[in-house]
Amino acid sequence: MLKIEDLKVALDAEAGLVRAIDGMRLTLQRGQTFALVGESGCGKSMTALALMRLLPDNGRISGGRLMLDEQDLFALPEAQMRAVRGGRIGMIFQEPSTSLNPVMRIGDQIVEAIETHTALRGAAARAKAIEWLDRVGIPEPAKRIDDYPFRMSGGQKQRVMIAMTLAAEPDYLIADEPTTALDVTIQAQILDLLRDLQRERGLGVLLITHDLGVVAGMAHQVALMYAGQIIELASAEAFFAQPKHPYARLLLQALPDAGKRGESLAAIAGTVPPLWMSFEGCRFAPRCDRAWASCHGRRPELHELAKQGQAGVGHQVRCLLYTEPQAAAAAAAAAAAAASAQPLRPAEVSNRPPPEVGAAQALLEVRNLRVEFGTQTSWLGGKAKRFVAVDGVSYRIAPGRTLALVGESGCGKTSSGKAIVQLLRRTATISGEALLDGQDLFKLDGAALLAARRAVQIIFQDPFASLNPRMRVQEVLEEGMLALRPDLDASARRRNMELLLDQVGLRRDALTRWPHEFSGGQRQRLAIARALAVEPRLIVCDEPTSALDVSVQAQILNLLRDLQRERGLSFLFITHNIGVVEYVADEVAVMQAGRIVESGLCEAVLGSPTQAYTRTLLAAVPRVIRSL
> What tens digit of pLDDT does each residue of 61-106 get?
999 999 998 899 999 999 999 889 988 999 988 777 778 999 999 9
Tell me the one-letter amino acid at 319.
C
527, 467 Cβ separation under 8 angstroms: yes
- Per-residue pLDDT at 376: 55
Cα 447 from Cα 453, distance rounded (Å): 10
- Per-residue pLDDT at 358: 44
* Average pLDDT rounded to a whole number, residues 269-281: 83
Can you give the residue ranges of every domain in the chain? 2-219, 241-333, 364-619
- Per-residue pLDDT at 516: 86
Residue 213 has pLDDT above 80, yes or no: yes
Residue 328 has pLDDT above 80, yes or no: no
Closest CA to 476 of 515, 434, 430, 431: 515
Backbone angles phi, psi at 366, to 5 degrees: -105, 130
- At residue 331 the predicted structure's pLDDT band, cuts being 50, 70 and 90, is low
Share of the chain above pLDDT 70, in %: 90
400, 568 Cβ separation under 8 angstroms: yes
Cα 516 from Cα 98, distance rounded (Å): 12
- Per-residue pLDDT at 473: 93
Backbone angles phi, psi at 71, to 5 degrees: -115, 130
Cα 468 from Cα 484, distance rounded (Å): 18
- On the CB side of 562, CA atoms within 13 Å amount to 14
Q: Do domains 2-219 and 364-619 have the same CATH topology?
A: yes
Radius of gyration from C-alpha coordinates of the chain? 25
- Per-residue pLDDT at 543: 84
349: CB partners within 8 A, 6+ apart: 562, 565, 566
Sheet holding 456-459, edge to edge: 456-459, 538-542, 570-574, 402-407, 587-592, 595-601
Q: Where are the alpha helices (DSSP H) in 4-121?
A: 44-51, 78-84, 96-99, 106-117
Cα 156 from Cα 162, distance rounded (Å): 10
b/e burial code for range 272-301 (CB count within 10 A of at least 16 → b): bbebeeeeebbbbbebbebbbebbeeeebe
Residue 251 DSSP code: H
Cα 228 from Cα 272, distance rounded (Å): 10
Cα 171 from Cα 173, distance rounded (Å): 7
- Per-residue pLDDT at 330: 62
Class of domain 364-619: alpha beta
* Residue with the larger pLDDT of the pair 504 and 542: 542
Other Cβ atoms within 10 Å of 603 Cβ, number: 14
Rounded to 10 degrees, the C-alpha dihedral 572/577/578/584 comes to -40
> What tens digit of pLDDT does each residue of 507-563 get?
898 999 999 888 767 888 888 889 989 889 999 999 888 767 787 788 778 888 888
* Residue with the larger pLDDT of the pair 225 and 384: 225
Class of domain 2-219: alpha beta
Rounded to 10 degrees, the C-alpha dihedral 413/569/39/417 comes to 20
Of 6-10, 122-126, 325-329, where does mean pLDDT reach its minimum?
325-329
Q: Where are the alpha helices (DSSP H) in 75-105?
A: 78-84, 96-99
Q: Return mean pLDDT, the chain.
A: 85
> What tens digit of pLDDT does each residue of 127-171 get?
999 999 998 888 899 999 999 998 887 778 888 988 999 898 899
Do the bridges between strand 595-601 and strand 172-176 make them parallel or antiparallel, or are there none, so unpaired?
Answer: unpaired
Burial of 591 (0-12, 13-18, 19+ CB in 10 A): buried
CA-to-CA separations, 455 to 290, 426, 478, 533, in angstroms, rounded: 43, 21, 17, 11
Residue 348 has pLDDT above 60, yes or no: no
* Residue with the larger pLDDT of the pair 6 and 504: 6
- Per-residue pLDDT at 551: 79
46, 9 Cβ separation under 8 angstroms: yes
* Residue with the larger pLDDT of the pair 585 and 506: 585
Tell me the one-letter amino acid at 62.
S
Other Cβ atoms within 10 Å of 440 Cβ, number: 13
388, 411 Cβ separation under 8 angstroms: no
- At residue 335 the predicted structure's pLDDT band, cuts being 50, 70 and 90, is low
- Per-residue pLDDT at 349: 34
